[in-house]
Amino acid sequence: MSRIGRKPVPVPRGVSVTIEGSTVVVKGPEGELSQTFRPELKITQQDGQLVVERGADNKEQRALHGLTRALLANMITGVTAGYRRGLEIIGVGYRAEKKGDQPLVLSVGFSHQVRYPEPKGIKITTPTLTSIVIEGIDKQQVGQVAAEIRAFRPPEPYKGKGIRYTGEQVRRKAGKAGAK
**180 residues of the chain, pLDDT tens digit each:** 468 888 999 999 999 999 998 899 999 999 999 999 998 899 999 888 999 998 888 888 888 999 999 999 999 999 999 999 999 999 999 999 999 889 999 999 999 999 999 999 999 999 999 999 999 999 999 999 999 999 999 999 999 899 999 999 989 998 887 666
Among 47, 80, 113, residue at a domain's last position: 80
**Longest CA span, the chain:** 75
| CATH code of the domain covering residue 126 | 3.90.930.12
Q: Specify if 174 maps to a domain.
A: no
Q: Specify if 25 maps to a domain.
A: yes
**pTM greater than 0.75 (yes/no):** yes
Q: Specify if 58 maps to a domain.
A: yes
The whole-number pLDDT of residue 180 equals 60
The whole-number pLDDT of residue 113 equals 95
Nearest 10 degrees: Cα torsion 144, 148, 151, 153: -130
- Answer yes or no: do 93 and 38 share one domain: no
Single-letter amino acid code for the residue at 112: H
Residues 6+ apart with CB under 8 A from 21: 39
Q: Specify if 139 maps to a domain.
A: yes
Residues 6+ apart with CB under 8 A from 76: 9, 10, 11, 12, 15, 17, 26, 28, 50
The whole-number pLDDT of residue 72 equals 95
Q: Specify if 60 maps to a domain.
A: yes
The whole-number pLDDT of residue 2 equals 64
The whole-number pLDDT of residue 76 equals 95
- Answer yes or no: do 72 and 122 share one domain: no
Domain that holds residue 115: 83-165
Q: How many domains does the chain have?
A: 2
- Answer yes or no: do 89 and 68 share one domain: no
